[in-house]
Structure formats: structure tokens, C-alpha cells
Amino acid sequence: MAVMTSALIRLYPRAWRERYGAEMQDLLARQPASLRAMTDLLAGAIDARLNPQNLVVANLGIVNPAHKGNTMIRVLSCAPAGVSVADQFRSAAWMIGTSLVMVTLSIMLKSKFGPSSFSEGLLYAGFPAALMLSSQSIYLRCYSPAARRIISIGGAVGMVLFMWAVTAISYRI
């Protein structure tokens, strides 16, 4: 897993790697590897590329280089702290709305054209894609709006494509 984290850290801009790279490697070496950590690394790399001034660190009030011992720990703790009730309702609306749209579209395609891998893929991807889209209101709040859109929409599209591929394979078996 160390190879994977090294590869993900190389996605960050050079200036970021020079300042935080060693600290990040040390932090990741002390924690068990997880899908969440890998996703956070990828999201952080996208955000660092889109916002080179590092808005996350500025928003946390970390401007003194003397605090570098815990800078990355504070930056990576993208917990839903500070999520408002409006954010929770927005997230729920994304979940319910996306699920309903995808399930309805799947049912319409199935009734008009019969069962197919695409209609089944839409049906199976409804909840995971909705979860990806709703994450921008809660779990991805610490990233820039552009990074949130790329991660949530890209994840939702990726989930639909993955489910379509799986159902296409199952139709051939």
C-alpha cells in the first residue's frame, strides 16, 4: 500500500510535496491503509491542483510553518463537523432526488425497450451514485467547490459505468 500512497502523493503539486510530502508519508505510515485515506489523498490532490493557494489550510487558520507537526492531521480530518441542518437537508435531497430519477429512468427504459444491461445498471447504481452526489454537501465540504463537483459527479458517473459494465458481463454469462 506504500506504493499506492507514494503514487497518490506524486499527484500533488511540487511545492506542496516539498512542504508537506515527508510529513504526509510519515502520517500515512502510522495509520492502516484504507479506501477513505486513498480517496482523501486523491481529493486533496485535485483540490491542490485547482487551488494552489491551499484554501483548506487558510480556512483552518494554519499559516505559521512552526505548526507543521500537526498541519496535515488537521487538514486531513475532513469530518462533517460544522455541517448545518441546511447542509443535511441538501444532502438528503440529493440522495432522494437522484435515487428517484435513476430508478424512474431505469423503469421507463425497461418498460419501453425490455430488460437490458443499461437499464439494470441504472437501477443498481441509483443509490451509490446518489450517495456520491450527496457527499458534496457534507463529507467533501472541506474541499473547494470545483473539487467537490469533480469528485462527486465523477464518482457518480463512474458508479453508473461500473454497474453497467457488471450487468453487461452478467447478461453475457
CA distance 14 to 12: 6
Computed over every residue of the chain, the mean pLDDT equals 80
Q: With pLDDT > 90 as the criterion, what percentage of the chain qualifies? A: 28
How far, in Å, CA of 46 to CA of 40, rounded?
10
Whether 97 and 168 map to the same domain: the answer is yes
Could you tell me if 20 and 56 lie in one domain?
yes
Residues 106 and 65 in one domain: no
Query: DSSP secondary-structure letter at 30?
Result: T
3-state secondary structure of 63: coil
**pLDDT tens, position by position, 65-124:** 544 555 555 555 554 567 778 888 888 899 999 999 999 999 999 999 988 888 898 899
- pLDDT at position 139 over 60: yes
Q: Where is pLDDT greater, at 110 or 2?
A: 110
Range of 129's domain? 85-172
pTM of the model: 0.58
On whether both 44 and 71 belong to a single domain, the answer is yes
